[in-house]
Amino acid sequence: MTDAAAPTSPAAPSASASVSASDFRPRLIATDLDGTLLRNDQTVSDRTVAALAAAEEAGLAVVFVTGRPARWMGVVAEHVHGHGMAICANGAAVVDLHRGLELAEVCPLPLADAVAVVGVLRTIAPGTAFAVEYTGGFGREPEYPLHRGTGPIAPVERLLAEDGERAGDPLLKLLAYHPRLGADEFLHAARSGAAGHGEFTRSTSSALLEVSGLGVSKASTLERYCEARGIGAAEVVAFGDMPNDLEMLTWAGRSYAMANAHPEVLAATTYRTAANEDDGVAVVIEQLLHGL
């Protein structure tokens, strides 16, 4: 993940600025969900649903690119039109929303690397609680507080064991939560201590880390998805708000940070749009389509 800041555009400091498409002909829209496309109540506004449909009617592909696991995609699955594909778990899985959340591609985190990360974090950040996201479900330690639904509860070493509860299911990501450290402090410590065992990022304001396999990110999977369809980075417009969006935003030909975005995202993107609560993604799509 890059921490380098790209120049800020003087032309589009906010969603109220006009967005001309005369020099930009997008073929694909890649958008994050939480804090970006979704409102804070986890809904998709009517305006946003209409904008996504209009984009596809104009010939643009739409791909949801999220840190969410496939099992949390119901919030947008009912609104898909042609955009039936989603990149989930920060690039670890490609999901077909038209086929009942069928997995089309998986980029797993090797168990040995996950075990190594756990060992490092147990040492440098005592009190860390872990959870695991497999293709077949979720498991957590008793102390891990951020969870939805049910799944096995056990020490993470047991959850990651070769003969554990999810044996045979690819591991999509390891989750690590610390109750006292600052979010960025925890992220930087993990990257420093466990470099070489995975990709570390975060997508919430809490000290919750998401660990994927080396080289796996929203950008890497989106790039591969686009290459297979003859779409170049210069033809992609991307939207995001948190550090787990950074690689995607810096890869895309045109990227927009939401007004509510993390400071690193605001620094690394050229364009701005309104907050997720104000339909910032829809605002830009409408302006882009007006110029096509």
For the stretch 101-110, pLDDT in tens is 788 899 999 9
For the stretch 216-271, pLDDT in tens is 999 999 999 999 999 999 999 999 999 999 999 999 999 999 999 999 999 999 89
Those residues whose C-beta lies under 8 Å from the C-beta of residue 41, and which sit 6 or more positions away, are none
Domain covering 28-107+217-291 in this structure, CATH number: 3.40.50.1000
For the stretch 231-240, pLDDT in tens is 999 999 999 9
What's the pTM value of the predicted model, to 2 decimals?
0.87
Contact 215, 146 (CB under 8 A): no
Strands (E), the chain: 28-31, 61-65, 85-88, 93-96, 102-106, 129-134, 137-140, 171-177, 199-201, 208-212, 236-240, 254-258, 271-273
Look up residue 223 and give its amino acid. E
Contact 282, 45 (CB under 8 A): yes
For the stretch 152-211, pLDDT in tens is 899 999 999 977 666 678 999 999 999 999 999 999 999 999 989 999 999 999 999 999
For the stretch 107-126, pLDDT in tens is 999 999 999 999 999 999 99
Return the percentage of the chain with pLDDT > 70, whole number: 87
Residue 99 is predicted with a pLDDT of 76
Instruction: State yes or no: pLDDT of 51 exceeds 80.
Output: yes
Domain covering 111-212 in this structure, CATH number: 3.30.1240.10
- CATH 3.40.50.1000 domain extents, the chain: 28-107+217-291
Those residues whose C-beta lies under 8 Å from the C-beta of residue 279, and which sit 6 or more positions away, are 45, 47, 48, 51
- CATH 3.30.1240.10 domain extents, the chain: 111-212
Instruction: State yes or no: pLDDT of 5 exceeds 50.
Output: no
Q: Average pLDDT in the 20-33 region?
A: 81
